[in-house]
């Protein structure tokens, strides 16, 4: 849609914004890296709501929480659609990506199902999965902190795989297909998302379409194979709790998809939940480590709270009422370094006028999460990491009682109106347990060179995709005592048996089935790194393979494919065990 002054009703005026060049609008001004800083800078110049044009599309940028609520929540009827993503042109209609779906009946039904599945699991404390995976994560991190990105991504993907399908084993393939999706939908991940006419190029000429088709094929195999796996486990009487099991046991109504959809639809709803969980939560966990390096005083305060309240043991989810500082740290990390800094865009359906400004129907509406968390009236000294802003009455964000507040419910960083994030129970528990666990187990410090000087750590260098993660940085992490080192060993031992057995069986089956052992990236750092160019080679090689269904560890899945192509296998991971360093 091009700005058309004839559409502006009498008395209204166009939104302010940078002057556009013919055809390209302001596209040349938006940097590939940290684009949200440019949009934030423009908000200082043009105000808390302004517009830009890019290749004929109008984009509206909102930097004030009040305005975001006025439009996206109060006028939700008109502001709850999603824009078309040129590199994923059926995103609004396919029913495969709830979060990217248009405002249609399929989306409404899927959103209800997603909420129901989440509620059942949240009421069961997420079946203890985040704690189980947290214990594994802490042990691995304590062994080799330099692999922190790999272990963080393993933690998030394994936890959400358990929640979705009752098994951690889909995690490696989930990570690959999910990262590919992130590239496909991000403005900086695929050229057609910026130069939209490229979406009309036929598939045989379009590297972007070919890559996305291969990724989608892999994803379909993964999701369908995983549902089969749950059926197998149910038939054998040993299915672990999961979203899919809840659907099959309680919500599936063959022949009637009116309320919860059918199994094919639920397959993709759960897939979307798994994708969302695997994509996002690693960002704040990594940002937490970054914050501890820049703010050692807050690390000490957090350790004091955890040590005093938990009397030497690692914090658990049941301790949350008694750990307000830990909850404040969780919330402050998300505020300080928003995981989705430009937000997930909404689309407006009909022309609208807001405070005298014309907003054209069809425009893309961005709640600029980065700017929203930098509003000095709400967050004084916004650039500083300061959990006290959630705990002391002198700050505008303080809320009582501290047994409940701060918490993540209703936080701007999870969006607005009818499209708000549905994963908050997972985010809350994953972050509480990992951040509390790291504070309990480890002292995070800047690395020192042989000459005693500190290795510098960046302040705000983040990856450019829709979900932003810190660029790699170096640090030291020492286990805080011999006693904790022994406890970490026990935490690892308790969780590992079942995994090892399954992975060993996978390896055996994979070898007999395919004789190939390199279909997955050798080093998952490739996937964890999220730097488009670094990762595309590994992802591309995987997607370039012709793949059938995807193993989740059950015998029936492995090797079940279209007959001509092998299913990708899970590589067995061997964990090196350097000596634990105790400080």
Please report whether residue 98 would count as binding ligand HEM according to CB under 6 A. Answer: yes
Q: Name which of 127 and 447 has its Cβ closer to ligand HEM.
A: 127
Structure tokens at 431: 């972050």
Q: Is 448 helix (H, G, I), strand (E, B) or coil?
A: strand
Q: Name which of 58 and 368 has its Cβ closer to ligand HEM.
A: 368
Q: Name which of 14 and 128 has its Cβ closer to ligand HEM.
A: 128
Q: Name which of 92 and 111 has its Cβ closer to ligand HEM.
A: 111
Which of 26, 149, 419, 469 touches ligand HEM by CB under 6 A? 419
Which of 140, 244, 426, 527 touches ligand HEM by CB under 6 A? 426
**CB 192, CB 198: distance < 8 Å:** yes
Structure tokens at 359: 């907003």
Structure tokens at 450: 């042989």
**CB 343, CB 369: distance < 8 Å:** yes
Alpha-carbon separation of residue 167 from 115, 218, 226, 233, 238 (angstroms): 21, 19, 9, 10, 12
**CB 322, CB 309: distance < 8 Å:** yes
Q: Name which of 138 and 157 has its Cβ closer to ligand HEM.
A: 157
Q: Round the CA-based radius of gyration of the chain to a whole number and report it.
A: 24
Q: Name which of 87 and 413 has its Cβ closer to ligand HEM.
A: 413
Q: Name which of 273 and 543 has its Cβ closer to ligand HEM.
A: 273
Please report whether residue 281 would count as binding ligand HEM according to CB under 6 A. Answer: yes
Give least dist CB 312 to ligand HEM, A. Answer: 29
**CB 520, CB 507: distance < 8 Å:** no
- Please give the biggest Cα pair distance in the chain: 74
Please report whether residue 199 would count as binding ligand HEM according to CB under 6 A. Answer: no
Give the range of 133-141, 412-420, 489-497, 529-537 binding ligand HEM by CB under 6 A. Answer: 412-420
Q: Name which of 60 and 214 has its Cβ closer to ligand HEM.
A: 60
Which of 83, 130, 170, 415 touches ligand HEM by CB under 6 A? 415
Give least dist CB 334 to ligand HEM, A. Answer: 6
Give the range of 123-131, 193-201, 411-419, 444-452 binding ligand HEM by CB under 6 A. Answer: 411-419
Q: Name which of 132 and 209 has its Cβ closer to ligand HEM.
A: 132
Which of 99, 152, 378, 543 touches ligand HEM by CB under 6 A? 99
Tell me how far apart the alpha carbons of residues 561 and 571 are, in angstroms, rounded to a whole number. 18
Binding-residue total with ligand HEM (CB under 6 A)? 27
- Beta pairing class for 364-367 and 476-479: unpaired
Please report whether residue 111 would count as binding ligand HEM according to CB under 6 A. Answer: yes
Give the range of 186-194, 339-347, 498-506, 536-544 binding ligand HEM by CB under 6 A. Answer: 339-347
Please report whether residue 333 would count as binding ligand HEM according to CB under 6 A. Answer: no
Structure tokens at 30: 């938006």
Stretch 114-133 residues interacting with ligand HEM (CB under 6 A) = 114
Q: Name which of 208 and 243 has its Cβ closer to ligand HEM.
A: 243
Neighbours of 266 (CB within 10 A): 24
Is 120 exposed, middle or buried, given 0-12, 13-18 or 19+ CB atoms closer than 10 A?
middle
Candidates 468, 560, 549; CA nearest to 173 is 549
Tell me how far apart the alpha carbons of residues 540 and 338 are, in angstroms, rounded to a whole number. 28
Please report whether residue 416 would count as binding ligand HEM according to CB under 6 A. Answer: yes
Please report whether residue 427 would count as binding ligand HEM according to CB under 6 A. Answer: yes
Which of 17, 241, 271, 423 touches ligand HEM by CB under 6 A? 423
Q: Peptide bond preceding 406: is omega within 30 degrees of 0, i.e. cis?
A: yes
Neighbours of 531 (CB within 10 A): 14
DSSP string, 162-207: HHHHS-STTHHHHHHHHHHHHHHHSTTT-GGGTSGGGGGS-GGG-H
Give the range of 135-143, 201-209, 271-279, 472-480 binding ligand HEM by CB under 6 A. Answer: 271-279
Please report whether residue 84 would count as binding ligand HEM according to CB under 6 A. Answer: no
Instruction: Give contact residues for ligand HEM (rule: CB under 6 A).
Output: 98-99, 111, 114, 272-273, 276-277, 280-281, 284, 339-340, 343-344, 346, 413-416, 419-423, 426-427
């Amino acid at each position: 849609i091009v700005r058309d002054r004839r559409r502006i009703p009498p008395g209204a005026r166009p939104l302010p914004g940078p002057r556009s060049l013919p055809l390209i609008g302001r596209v040349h001004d938006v940097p590939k890296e940290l684009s949200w800083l440019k949009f934030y800078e423009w908000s200082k110049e043009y105000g808390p709501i302004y517009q830009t044009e890019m290749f004929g599309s109008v984009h509206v940028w909102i930097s004030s929480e009040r305005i975001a609520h006025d439009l996206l929540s109060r006028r939700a009827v008109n502001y709850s659609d999603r824009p078309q993503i040129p590199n994923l042109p059926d995103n609004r209609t396919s029913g495969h990506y709830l979060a990217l779906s248009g405002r249609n009946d399929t989306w409404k039904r899927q959103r209800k199902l997603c909420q129901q599945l989440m509620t059942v699991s949240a009421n069961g404390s997420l079946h203890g999965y985040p704690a189980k995976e947290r214990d594994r994560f802490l042990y691995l991190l304590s062994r080799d902190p330099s692999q922190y990105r790999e272990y963080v991504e393993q933690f998030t993907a394994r936890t959400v795989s358990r929640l979705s399908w009752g098994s951690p084993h889909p995690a490696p393939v989930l990570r690959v297909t999910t990262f590919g999706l992130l590239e496909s939908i991000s403005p900086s991940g695929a050229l057609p998302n910026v130069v939209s006419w490229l979406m009309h190029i036929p598939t045989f000429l379009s590297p972007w379409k070919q890559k996305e088709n291969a990724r989608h094929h892999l994803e379909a195999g993964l999701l369908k194979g995983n549902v089969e796996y749950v059926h197998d486990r149910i038939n054998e009487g040993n299915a672990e709790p999961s979203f899919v099991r809840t659907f099959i046991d309680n919500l599936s109504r063959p022949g009637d998809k009116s309320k919860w959809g059918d199994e094919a639809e639920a397959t993709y709803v759960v897939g979307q939940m798994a994708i969302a969980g695997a994509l996002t939560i690693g960002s704040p966990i990594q940002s937490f480590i970054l914050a501890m390096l820049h703010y050692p005083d807050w690390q000490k305060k957090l350790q004091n709270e955890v040590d005093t309240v938990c009397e030497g043991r690692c914090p658990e989810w049941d301790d949350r009422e008694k750990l307000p500082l830990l909850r404040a740290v969780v919330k402050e990390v998300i505020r300080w370094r928003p995981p989705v800094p430009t937000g997930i865009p909404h689309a407006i359906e009909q022309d609208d006028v807001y405070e005298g400004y014309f907003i054209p129907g069809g425009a893309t509406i961005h709640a600029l999460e980065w700017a929203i968390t930098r509003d000095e009236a709400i967050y004084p000294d916004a650039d500083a990491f300061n959990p006290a802003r959630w705990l002391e009455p002198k700050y505008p964000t303080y809320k009582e009682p501290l047994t409940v507040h701060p918490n993540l419910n209703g936080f701007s960083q999870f969006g607005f109106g009818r499209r708000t994030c549905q994963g908050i129970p997972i985010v809350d528990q994953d972050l509480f347990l990992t951040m509390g666990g790291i504070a309990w187990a480890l002292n995070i410090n800047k690395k020192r060179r042989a000459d005693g000087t500190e290795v510098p750590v960046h302040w705000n260098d983040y990856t450019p995709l829709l979900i932003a993660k810190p660029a790699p940085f170096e640090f030291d992490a020492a286990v805080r005592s011999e006693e904790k080192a022994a406890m970490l060993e026990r935490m690892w031992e308790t969780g590992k048996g079942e995994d090892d057995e399954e992975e060993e069986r996978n390896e055996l089956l994979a070898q007999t089935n395919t004789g190939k052992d390199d279909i997955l990236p050798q080093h998952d750092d490739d996937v964890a790194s999220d730097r488009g160019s670094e990762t595309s080679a590994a992802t591309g090689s995987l997607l370039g393979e012709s793949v059938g269904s995807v193993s989740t560890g059950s015998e029936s899945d492995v090797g079940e494919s279209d007959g001509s192509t092998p299913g990708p296998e899970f590589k067995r991971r061997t964990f090196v065990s350097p000596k634990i360093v105790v400080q």
